[in-house]
Amino acid sequence: MYDLTVIGAGWAGFNACLKARSRGLKTCIIERSHVGGTCLNSGCIPTKVLIQSAKIYSLVKKSATFGIEVNSEAATNFAKIQERKDRIISQLRSGMQSRLLGIDCISAEASFVSPTEIKAGEQLIQTKHSLIATGSRSIEISALKFDGSKIVSSDDILKAKELPKSILIVGGGVIGCEFAGLFSGLGTQVTIVEKLPQILPGIDLEVVRKIGVVFKKIGIKVITGGDVSTQDLSGFDKVLVCVGRSSYSQGLGLENIGVVLERGNIAVDKYLRTTVGNIYAAGDCTGGIMLAHYAAYQGILAAENIAAGDSLRECSPSAVPSCIFTNPEIASVGINEDEANGRNLDVEVSKFDFLGSGMARILDEAEGFIKVIWDKKTQRILGGSIIGPRATELIAIIGLAVSSGLTVNNIRDTIFAHPTLSESIHDALDRDS
């Protein structure tokens, strides 16, 4: 009999296991494929490996800016880029596997027989508690069925053997925009079609306008308010469909044990319990915020609540950073200026342009800005948006400020190193800037 059985070894399930082990719970984890889930195998990690190659390629092409002369013209070797991606995934997967020491790992499909029994392949697992962490998958639309060759999902495109000369990206959300920047950076002709009036819905409008200008400058064609049916698909080597992800909850036998789904998502309460008291769920399968770091937070919280008994902690998503690895990068946390105005909050908006940053100039990455939103009365920092160099790293400072209830003066009184990009956050809030 296990204290906890986790279904799914993605970022939610993996981190839940580590926390459960530290709390003394006898734990097993069931995974039908590879440890690491979408993030490691077909999401966060592989895309960022390719994005880094695109950045290096762009940097080499402008090396003369830094006084470095390259004798021959830069060229990409997509096969070697893919080899590096696969090698990094394998190394990280091995590392994750080694960290699961002391936890029984079962490679099998899982389905519930009862609230305390799970069938894993030919085994019948007895468990006091369970955590469902089965993740999500790419949404397929009827007009563009995946064929794995011409019309592809984000999973498919990461397995490509050759760099496409042209690509149509259907969907201008986070995934679509990251792939657009990635392939454009490697030399592919890119077109984005987004049915909404703007790409990156929910992101600060000023930031969206800025990345739109950048995309246009580097040759990415963006069609908003558009219908893919108006596009001649024969004019593209690949059609990448990035219209979102849906929770994976099928085949688990949930209907047999009373676990309720809401629009395909596993319904959970504020403590991450499903409608069956001893069964919890975390990560993408619950819907809502589909981010690996939020899934990890939920997995840890669920394990802590299972170990704690009656002393339960609520899930609080108020300061979850959103990171978009375009070039320049985009990141946000808390509320943005548009949300503050929409809620009629009495706020101040402080801004700093990276054109004024010494380090941004040194890096030759001065496109973009930082915006910090703070309450006029209490001076507490409520959120921020960044577009610019290392935005995905810098946002952690604003995230810490939001989650810790820091004020503008707390940041103003902090000494930031110079020359750094991080001091730009201080400069954004400096009265004398």
Instruction: State which residues of the chain have pLDDT below 50.
Output: none
What pLDDT score does 47 carry?
A: 98
Fold match between 2-137+246-308 and 151-243? yes
CATH of 2-137+246-308, one of 3.90.1300.10, 3.50.50.60, 3.40.30.10, 3.30.479.30: 3.50.50.60
Dihedrals phi, psi of 117, to nearest 5 degrees: -135, 135
Amino acid letter at 106? I
Catalytic residue (one of 34, 129, 293, 418): 418
- What tokens were used for 328? 């320049």
Q: Which residues contact 169 (CB under 8 A, 6 or more apart)?
A: 176, 179, 180, 190, 191, 192, 193, 240, 242
Edge to edge, the sheet with strand 322-324 lists 322-324, 329-334, 381-388, 369-375, 347-353
- Taking each helix axis from N to C end, the angle separating 11-22 and 292-308, rounded to the nearest 10 degrees, works out to 30
- Find where tokens 């054109």 sit: 355
- CA angle at 181 for the pair 205 and 35, rounded to the nearest 5°: 105
Q: Quick one: which of 401, 433, 237 has its CA closest to 319?
A: 401
> Reduced to 3 states, what is the DSSP secondary structure of residue 140?
coil
Cβ(282)–Cβ(302) below 8 Å:
yes
β-bridge pairing 221-224 and 238-241: unpaired
- CA 403 remoteness from chain centre: 19
Question: For residues 65 and 67, what is the distance between their CA atoms, to the nearest angstrom?
Answer: 6
Cis peptide before 197 (omega within 30 of 0): no
What pLDDT score does 433 carry?
A: 54
Question: For residues 98 and 102, what is the distance between their CA atoms, to the nearest angstrom?
Answer: 10
Q: Where are the domains of the chain?
A: 2-137+246-308, 151-243, 322-429
Q: What is the DSSP letter of 355?
A: G
- The CATH code belonging to domain 151-243 is 3.50.50.60
Question: For residues 160 and 141, what is the distance between their CA atoms, to the nearest angstrom?
Answer: 21
- What tokens were used for 73? 């013209």
Question: For residues 383 and 409, what is the distance between their CA atoms, to the nearest angstrom?
Answer: 15
CATH of 322-429, one of 1.10.150.20, 1.20.950.20, 3.30.390.30, 3.40.50.300: 3.30.390.30
Cis peptide before 328 (omega within 30 of 0): yes
Note if 34 is an active site residue. Answer: no
CB atoms within 10 A of CB 22: 12
Question: For residues 92 and 300, what is the distance between their CA atoms, to the nearest angstrom?
Answer: 20
Amino acid letter at 158? L
- The answer to pTM > 0.85 is yes
Q: Quick one: which of 87, 70, 93 has its CA closest to 14?
A: 93
What pLDDT score does 316 carry?
A: 87
DSSP string, 167-218: EEEE--SHHHHHHHHHHHHTT-EEEEEESSSSSSTTS-HHHHHHHHHHHHHH
Amino acid letter at 340? A
Cβ(353)–Cβ(369) below 8 Å:
yes
What pLDDT score does 309 carry?
A: 82
